Structure 1
Amino acid sequence: MESAQKHRRFLSLLTIAATIIVCILFYYEMKPNAYEVSIGDNTVAFVKNNADVEYVSKTLEQIITRFGMKAPYNEILISKVKVDDDLLVKDINNLGSSILNGSDIEVNAVVMNIDGKDAALLANEKEGNQVLNLMSSFYAAKSNVKIKQSGTPNKISYSEKKVLLSQVEEPKQAAEKLEKVNEKRKNPLISFKIKGETEVKEAIPPSTTIAWSDELFLGDSKVKSNGKEGEKLVHKEVTLENSKIVDSKVMSEQVLAKPTNVVVEKGTKNPITGDIAFLSVPSRGTYTSSFGMRWGRMHNGIDIGAPIGTPIYAALDGVVSFSGVEDGYGNMIKIDHGNGIETFYGHCSVLNVSKGREVKRGDKIAEVGNTGRSTGPHVHFELRVNGVAKNPTQYLKQ
């Protein structure tokens, strides 16, 4: 009898203990582990702690202010709930974009229209102006220009539209999208005329200094010193069309490093007295007439036959002393090489240099022709020393 009572007492205690354990487990199972954040009837996030609630609330307040939301979307509700951990916001810093992308809340937005084409969906016209400012700043930055004035020739208009919050673009997102659209089009969807200032570093090319040498023959030269570029900081006023500079005006310059001049030695030694070959052949072709008596009169040069239009080159460095028509010679070039040495190029079809032009050995100065007293296309080439004709053949470098 006593044994049966003890058994019943044990079962009662066991039942009570089990009930307590079940209640404790149920309590912990159903105990709230998160905060539900809502706008009106729309749940936007589940977060873990009070700090996250505060961050979420500020984010939602910004969205409410941005869209000027009215009831039932102008009130933020917070409540404790029990949810699976998978539903909790993992990255609180990206909550704003998550709400925008995932929400089914309807808002009043505006369509930004460019020249009759829908271009972006924004919260309001103010954000449209932000898009324009972001784009003009983008193009100015590409050309390192500080904006003083910016505008667009395109017609910009806005129309109201009720859409889902997730469809609305951020100004930065819209600006980047339109920049990519412009890049893909031959004629940009939207253009900006930007006036501003920029500073750029530019090279200062070295000048060339001539050093005369009696150790080199006339017409010969060599570089004694290569020189070095300098550098300057140039302050410019520029006009951009998007990122392309269409006008530029130098306002000031500051030399950062002076250039070092190139030094070229040029010969003064007379090659005539030493019978030195110092002239380059003036044109490609066939020698058709030599220096000396011809048909009972003196032929003061040599003739090189070639098709009309064949290039004629300067035989030596010098300055063009004549470019025009001369009796008998037709179209003619004369070059003064200094020390009383001159070369003539006659019967040309085209003259490419004018009087006073400085030329270098090998520069194109004319084209073979058949002008003046000529029996066929050729260049008549003369060498004169102190006005006296010399046989150029012995002075030509073959």
Structure 2
Amino acid sequence: MGKKEILNIIKTRKSIFCIITCLAVVLSSYIYISKTSYTVKVDGQTIGVVKDKEQVNQEIENIKKDLQKKFDKDIKLGKDITFEKIQVANEDLSPIETIKSRLYSSLEFNVNAYEVKVNGDTLLYLESKEAADTLLDTIKNTYIGNRKKEDFKEISFVEKVEVQETETNIGNIKSIEDALNLVAKGGNEIKTYKVQLGESAWTIASKLNMKVEDIAKANPEINIEKLKIDQEINLSVPKSYIHVKTVEFAQYEEKIPYETVFEETSALYSGEKKIQKPGEDGKKKVEVEVAKINGVVESKNILTEEIIQEPIKMIVLKGTKPRPITVASGDLSNPSRGKLSSRFGTRWGRSHTGIDISAPKGTEIKAADGGKVTFAGTKSGYGKIVILSHGDGFETYYAHCDSIKVKVGERVAKGQVIATVGTTGRVTGSNLHFETRKNGKPIDPLKYVSY
């Protein structure tokens, strides 16, 4: 073998050695960066990849210890944690802080708690039996106040309320304050209300402890400012999840309305009445059993009634004597033919104390009701005028007359001609100025006559 062949063999062996060395370096590097790791799963959902699964278990224990310290309860995992082997590079591993954050958001931490059930349905969870008892006692005490339980025949819940030990997510547990707010707020149901005599939206709102705005929202098609008797309106009323029934005894005095008795007498005119003997209400002591639901009276059961004072009848005399045509009937007729030309109230910047009835000069003016002539003559502004008194301070005025047919002191009958239409006094044309007055105060005549 020559020198040249020997050199070629040496070069070939060196090349093979270099290749083997490089492969060993690459293989050792690969083995270094692809050690066994673990995919972390919560109920089958991947939350990251870690090199050491014990580090994850330690983080879970740390979370449980924090919650145990905060709630003073044993904490249980509500979901399964699993680990699956995997080969990944170091840069594909999840930071432990990321794993910790995802554990907090995806794990469920359960504790032993007490659920309050209403009619078989779970309403809320509390941390202890004592907290549940405190909640239910507080709800009852809301409708007992400062009174003793012994004052009541019954204090109970309308619904079937149960307290049971169970396991639940720690986030479901409520404080007693939040639980009370939930029970009181409840849900909403639409109820109807029938408007009573004299009631308005404001009095109804005050009566039911509501806002007028809420009544308006519940009745968008109704003008709540113009409610009518017996009209039904909707009410949006909070409905408590738990209702407290109380039954108690009550005593109170109740008035007994007096009876009115009418006796006929010929000493009074027909249509006249006079109280001969005033009535007086009686009194009775009533003992009742009162049932309330959430403080609102649901029913009353009368147990005993004892009359303390008998009522005294009112005796009213009722006239039978025929009424003279000159005595007022209280029902006015139109004093003249004609057309209404001016109304009662402000006119031309001044107060117009009656109505004007336009009619031809000489048209008859008749007494609107029976009465006595208290004035027949001329007054400033009125011209020729007749004034009739109808009793009880009620008077009628007939002004701007052309002629007067009666005298002061004369009694006239309803419909009797007392004057004729004229143009005397401050007037722009022939008309009758007609007034009605009570105790000297002008009243709109159109409340009594029609034109």
Q: What band does the TM-score fall into relative to the shorter chain?
A: 0.3 to 0.5
Structure of greater relative contact order (alpha carbons < 8 Å, 6+ residues apart): 1
TM-score normalised to the size of structure 2? 0.30
TM-score normalised to the size of structure 1? 0.33
